[in-house]
Amino acid sequence: MPSVVNDSCILCKSCVEVCPVDAFREGETMVVVSPEDCIDCGVCIAECPQGAISSSDEADEKWVQFNADKSAQWPVATK
């Protein structure tokens, strides 16, 4: 299951730095995960200091949908 970011994200981008496939997309106040690009490695989950990332099977459905919607609109996050 792809990773999912919730509203606890503080845009520190620790997750972006460790993602091996550039699955993160960046908005003004947070990042989201592209479910199309995420390979489910889980590295970002352990890296997040805010605990803002979880697997989609553990996340609230509204955040799963939010990540899917915004990842289609926002640009790839830069390190």
The residue type found at 10 is: I
CB 1 within 8 A of CB 44: no
Q: What is the pLDDT of residue 2?
A: 92
Intervals of the chain under pLDDT 70: none
Q: What is the pLDDT of residue 44?
A: 98
Q: What is the pLDDT of residue 70?
A: 98
- Going along the chain from its start, the domains and CATH numbers come out as 3-71 (3.30.70.20)
For 13, other C-beta atoms within 10 Å of its C-beta total: 17
Is this model's pTM higher than 0.85 or not?
yes
